[in-house]
Amino acid sequence: MERYAKGQINLWDLVNTYEWEFDTAVPEEFPSTKFCPKMKELYYNQGLEYLKNFPGYADKKILEVEAVFEHDIDDWVFNGIIDLVFEDEEGRLIIQDYKSKSSFKSKKEQAEYARQLYLYSLYIKDKYGRYPDALRFMMFRKNTVIDIPFSETGLNEALDWARNTVKEIRECWDFAPSCEAFYSQNLCNHREYCDNKL
C-alpha cells in the first residue's frame, strides 16, 4: 500500500505483488488457537480479497505516505510514522491508519487506539495549519472503514494520557512483567528466554 500510494507500483499490480512477496515479507509462523487453527491462511486470504476489491486513490489527493515526524510535548519528544494522509473529494483532511484487526472489541478499545491518531494530529496541525477533519482506521481484513470526527476533546484526552504515561514511566523503578498467556506464548519478542513465560 505504501508503494502504491507513492506511485511506485500500479493499482493492477497490487494482487500479484502481494502473492509474490507475502512469504518473504511475513516469514514468521502465526499462532494457532482453537478458534483459528489456520490464522496465517486466514489473514493471507483476507488481505488478498481486500486488494482484489481495492478501488485505488484516484479520488484522493495524497499528501503524506509513511510520514516520519517528531513533535515536542513538554520536555520530551513524541515521534511517529503516519501510514497515510490525504484530502478526499470533499477537501476533508484525513489521517488513515491500516489495521489488521478485524474490528474493535468496544468503543473503549476504539478510543484507546484513536489516541495514536490524535497525537499524529499535532504534526498535521504544524504542517498544514489545521487539524484533520477525521481520523480513519482502515481495517483491511474485513474491508471496514471507521471514521472518527476530529475533536479537541479527543486530542486533549490523548495528550493527558501521553503525559500521564510519560510521568508514570519516569517515576517507575520496578518493571515487573505482567504477562497475558496468549501474548506471552506467541507474540512477545522475549518469549524464547523469559523466565516469566506462562
* Across 51-80, average pLDDT: 95
105 shares its domain with 135 = yes
48 shares its domain with 136 = no
46 shares its domain with 124 = no
- Which tens digit of pLDDT belongs to each residue from 13-24? 999 999 999 999
pLDDT band at 196 (very low <50, low <70, confident <90, very high): low
Distance CA 11, CA 54 (A): 8
* Across 70-93, average pLDDT: 96
Strand order in the sheet with 144-149: 61-73, 76-87, 93-99, 134-139, 144-149
Residue 84 confidence (pLDDT) above 80: yes
Domain boundaries, position 97: 61-171
95 shares its domain with 150 = yes
Distance CA 85, CA 62 (A): 6
* Across 167-190, average pLDDT: 81
- Which tens digit of pLDDT belongs to each residue from 108-159? 999 999 999 999 999 999 999 999 999 999 999 999 999 999 999 999 999 9
User: What CATH number is given to the structural domain containing 142?
Assistant: 3.90.320.10
Instruction: Please indicate, yes or no, if residue 191 is contained in any of the structural domains.
Output: no
Quickly count: other Cβ atoms within 10 Å of residue 132's Cβ: 24
34 shares its domain with 80 = no
Residue 19: half-sphere exposure toward Cβ, Cα within 13 Å: 9
65 shares its domain with 17 = no
Instruction: Please indicate, yes or no, if residue 190 is contained in any of the structural domains.
Output: no
Residue 197 confidence (pLDDT) above 60: no
Nearest to 114 by CA among 162, 170, 163: 162
Helices and strands in the chain, H and E counts? 6, 5
Which grid coordinates are listed for 100?
A: 489488521
User: Percentage of the chain with pLDDT > 90?
Assistant: 78
166 shares its domain with 71 = yes
pLDDT averaged over every residue in the chain: 92
What's the pTM value of the predicted model, to 2 decimals?
A: 0.88
74 shares its domain with 7 = no
Instruction: Please indicate, yes or no, if residue 73 is contained in any of the structural domains.
Output: yes
Q: How many domains does the chain divide into?
A: 2
